[in-house]
Amino acid sequence: MSFSSFWKSLASSQKPERAKAHEYFARTRSELKFSTPLCQSVYSGPMKFASLFLLSGVLALMLSACSSPKSLPALMVERLNWMDEVAMAKRANGLPITDPVREAELLADMTQRGVAAGLKAENVQRFFTGQMQAAKGVQEQWLRQHPGAASSLQPVPDLAQTVRPALDKIGREMIAELAHSHGPAESAALLNEARQRLGHAGYSEAVMRPALEGLQAGLLDHEVPSQP
């Protein structure tokens, strides 16, 4: 995949791909040494230094967006965006969608972190249970949309080395955002933002419902008004 084609797919994708953008640039940084036609055309003549400066500025802005703090709804969408890879890896390795051991380990870890951050254990558990239910919904939808055996030419994501560490990192960021003090108005705004982001990303109501219910449970101490 070339830099230019990645740029086009990033711009046109309905699902935000910020988390994967940073990984892509890290993997292909050697290709960014002016291997695209655009860079080859500008890396010559008197404009080369200005072109280099402009290109570095664009990349800096993109990477800054990838690493800047995200809202809780943005993290919810980012987590779900990994579920296609999870489903692909599980199918390739003959694993079921539901993994009780992994789910129990995740809940225990996130609950411990949440309590250490001053959150109620029950609220943390209900929040992540909702996110995991939504995640399984996305995986099931992906499998229905991609029946049959995986192509031998298609690279299979590594659950242990790539996907799960990314999900664990998102989980820790979620805990940090949940631990912020949210008043009733801000909590209601977060729920509204989450619904809008999930809908814009193209997720079905069956996926959105448990995710939003989990969010509302996570914000329970802040007296979030019920959503219609």
More confident site: 157 or 153:
157
pLDDT at 180: 87
Confidence band (pLDDT; 50, 70, 90) for 78? very high
pLDDT tens digits, one per residue of 98-146: 999 999 999 999 999 999 999 999 999 999 999 999 999 999 999 999 9
Residue percentage of the chain with pLDDT more than 90: 57
Average pLDDT of the chain is 77
Structure tokens at 225: 């008004």
pLDDT at 65: 45
Instruction: Tell me how far apart the alpha carbons of residues 26 and 46 are, in angstroms, rounded to a whole number.
Output: 29
Note the CATH number of domain 72-222. 1.20.59.10
Half-sphere exposure of 113 (CA within 13 A, CB side): 19
Domain ranges of the chain: 3-67, 72-222
For the four alpha carbons of 118, 123, 126 and 132, in that order, the dihedral sign comes to negative
Confidence band (pLDDT; 50, 70, 90) for 154? confident
Average pLDDT value for residue range 79-90:
96
pLDDT beyond 90 at 223: no
pLDDT at 151: 64
More confident site: 26 or 189:
189
Residue 143: CB partners within 8 Å, gap ≥ 6? 87, 91, 97
Average pLDDT value for residue range 10-23:
42
